[in-house]
Structure 1
Amino acid sequence: MSTNQNRVAVVTGGSRGIGRAVAERLAADGQHVVIAYAGNDVEAKSAVAAIEKAGGRAGAIQADVADEKAVSRLFDTAEQWFGRVDVVVNAAGIMILRPVAQLDLNEFDRMHRTNVRGTFVVAREAVGRLREGGAIITFSTSVTRLNLPTYAAYAASKAAVEALVPILAKEMRGRDITVNAVAPGPTATALFLDGKSEDLIEHIASQNPMQRLGRPEDIAEVTSLLAGPGRWINGQTIYVNGGAA
């Protein structure tokens, strides 16, 4: 039996892109999945329907990850539906790309509210809810190493996530709860592809030794490991980028 079998996972940002691929992979592994989404009911229902069609169990609830009351309700709902929470994957995030001199501070604050505060709020709630043997998985980005122009504010928000991970892992001492971050490279999602020319996409894809963009399923595969059998990986940021950085 898979070590993911019969576990219960909360996946924020689970209605689209990498988050949806993670939700579908964990469900395929045998986990019951609760998808938290920001506001698109259609996408959330589609994600749940896809999991159920494949034989999994899932539900979706709208929640602002930066709102502690909403996050508390999210975990309450997961426990009401499935009895417990074993795994938390915080894939919710916002990416706004501007040079430092051109980024509006309201955009900066909005991005950091979701990416930093949201990660902290979800992690704080998870600490009090997860059972022994659980896992907390956050999301960073390989851009923290690539140093690309226009990514400064986004990379800074994700660097904060990376700083949180090893400290929280140590705070979980004695509870058999792992804490890790996944840091994808360029991945073929709507968020990444939007507004980019074919030439630019091909150029970015050529930068790693595999000479392609990542697929959401590539990221979900690593998340699946951390969410179940990868018990000796703890306090780490795993760069999942085909060797780009």
Structure 2
Amino acid sequence: MKKLAGKVTIVTGSSRGIGKEIAMKLAHEGAKVVVNYSSSPKKAEEVVNQIQQQGGEAMAIQADMSQVDQIQQLVTTAVEQYGQLDILVSNAGIEHFGKLEEITLQDFERVFSVNVAGQLFAAQAAARYLPSGGRIVLTSSDSARKSVFYHTLYAASKAAVSAMVLNLAPELGERGITINAIAPGGTATDMAQENAKRYTHPALQNVPPEAVLKSQISLQRLAQPKEIAAAVTFLVSDDASYINGSTLAVDGGWL
């Protein structure tokens, strides 16, 4: 029996990268998956097609996770299509680097509208339908607990996520619903590739990337998206039924 047979799940921001692998993994474990995307319908449909080719069931739904009305419609449409909702994985997020004197109110609103408000209101919308035994997994980051130059805004948004799951746990726990977060470290995605140098201390800019990894990560490599997806799959399964309000670091052992 597959771990998630008979379950319905929404995975936000799942047209590429970590979100795609989460959607694929949950489908492999038997869940019907709603693949959410903001602006990449072709990529989202490719994920749906891959799931279907492997014998799974999935559909793509567009929703901008910075817009509360679209978040609510995403959840409503998923329930109308599949008749239930058992799992929410809130993966959508945006990156930001900027010096203190360069951060604008627009930057703050853009980052927090997706990384914080988007996840909060996704949890709110999903919780209206989740039964006892329902699961919510939000996405924090190892950036919330380590210092990186010019990364304050992003790190603050991800720290807020860990605070949210900690404080929502008793409220949702009364209904038998668990809420946790994952905190990925460096992961081999296109987003990570675009920003790899910015995560490196300025004094190490000329050091080979492999040497930097060895000095910062116990496993001396980036995570693969499938490894993050495996951690999420554990948290939404019955195996994690007594884990609530936690943020699970999936970072290879940060030094």
TM bin, normalised by shorter chain, reads over 0.9
Aligned counterpart, 1:179: 179
Matches within 5 A, 1:136-155: 136-155=136-155
Q: Deviations over 1:141-161 (max 9, x none)?
A: 001112111211000001111
- Residues 200 and 56 (structure 1 numbering): CA distance in 2 closer, same or farther, change over 3 Å? farther
Distance 1:171 1:138 in 2: 16
CA drift of 1:199 comes to: 5.6
- Equivalent residue in structure 1 for 2:222, among 213, 219, 223: 213
More moved, 17-26 vs 94-103: 94-103
Aligned counterpart, 1:78: 78
Matches within 5 A, 1:234-245: 234-244=244-254
CA drift of 1:204 comes to: 4.4
Matches within 5 A, 1:13-24: 13-24=13-24
Distance 1:9 1:208 in 2: 32
* Structure 1 residue 194 corresponds to structure 2 residue 203: no
CA drift of 1:179 comes to: 0.3
CA drift of 1:2 comes to: 3.2
CA drift of 1:83 comes to: 1.1
Given residue 134 of structure 2, which amino acid in structure 1 is its aligned partner? G
- Is 1:186–1:205's contact at 8 Å kept on the other side of the alignment? no
Distance 1:50 1:204 in 2: 35
- Residues 196 and 147 (structure 1 numbering): CA distance in 2 closer, same or farther, change over 3 Å? closer
Given residue 220 of structure 1, which amino acid in structure 2 is its aligned partner? A
CA drift of 1:97 comes to: 1.1
Give the 3-state SS of the residue equivalent to 1:205 in structure 2. helix
- Is 1:67–1:121's contact at 8 Å kept on the other side of the alignment? no
Distance 1:213 1:200 in 2: 14
Given residue 210 of structure 2, which amino acid in structure 1 is its aligned partner? E
Given residue 82 of structure 2, which amino acid in structure 1 is its aligned partner? F
Distance 1:204 1:236 in 2: 29
Q: TM-score, normalised by structure 2?
A: 0.91
Distance 2:38 2:228 in 1: 21
Please, which runs of 5 or more residues in structure 1 have no aligned partner? none
Please, which runs of 5 or more residues in structure 2 have no aligned partner? 198-205
Aligned counterpart, 2:88: 88
User: How many residues of Structure 1 are paired with residues of Structure 2 in the alignment?
Assistant: 245
- Residues 201 and 118 (structure 1 numbering): CA distance in 2 closer, same or farther, change over 3 Å? farther
Aligned counterpart, 1:232: 242
CA drift of 1:65 comes to: 1.6
Aligned counterpart, 1:3: 3
Give the 3-state SS of the residue equivalent to 1:166 in structure 2. helix
Aligned counterpart, 1:40: 40
Distance 2:212 2:122 in 1: 32
Give the 3-state SS of the residue equivalent to 2:248 in structure 1. strand
Distance 2:69 2:52 in 1: 28
Q: Deviations over 1:73-113 (max 9, x none)?
A: 11121112211000000000000112222233322221111
Q: TM-score, normalised by structure 1?
A: 0.95
Q: Deviations over 1:188-217 (max 9, x none)?
A: 110110154696642443221111001101
Aligned counterpart, 1:119: 119
- Is 1:66–1:121's contact at 8 Å kept on the other side of the alignment? no
- Residues 203 and 140 (structure 1 numbering): CA distance in 2 closer, same or farther, change over 3 Å? farther
Give the 3-state SS of the residue equivalent to 1:64 in structure 2. coil
- Is 1:178–1:231's contact at 8 Å kept on the other side of the alignment? yes
Identity %: 37
